[in-house]
Amino acid sequence: MARSVVKCTNCGKPNRLSPTAEGVPRCANCHQLLPWVVDAGQEDFDAEVTASVPVLVDMWAPWCMPCKQVTPLLENVARTNSGRLKLVKLNVDNAPDIAARFGVQGIPTLLVIRNGNEVDRLVGAAPQPQIEGWLEQHLPDGMRAGNAR
């Protein structure tokens, strides 16, 4: 399985993350919750979207300007929701079968996956407050508005 490297927002140490269905990632050095951001491909997508927290899937392509505008917003959402959310980025040019499986016809497309099933989607570039508002309804009640820590 592929591993992603995530830099701790607290101490700055890089941490290797592998797909896991249980728990949430913490820094090996300072034990703070890590932003769970990974790139997935055709071979590891199903493993990456299996998680104990809601998974936000970003269907994007490198030539897509709206996708490039949304990417930093999504990474910020993942940082502010460390321990509550996993962000999986999927380049649809490299994984057309997965894009077809979810019926993606326009990008960027954001999917919320829970227990392996799509529960909602947002198509097109949206501002961060809209993404956060849309996503909040999919976070467990005890984890909203900073209650996770």
Active site residues: 64, 67
The C-alpha atoms of residue 33 and residue 43 are separated, in whole angstroms, by: 27
Report the residue count for the chain.
Answer: 149
Helix H or strand E segment including 40? strand 36-40
What DSSP state is assigned to residue 89? E
Q: Are 112 and 120 in contact (CB under 8 A)?
A: yes
Measured CA distances, 96 to 48, 75, 114 (Å): 17, 23, 22
Those residues whose C-beta lies under 8 Å from the C-beta of residue 135, and which sit 6 or more positions away, are 54, 56, 77, 81, 85, 112
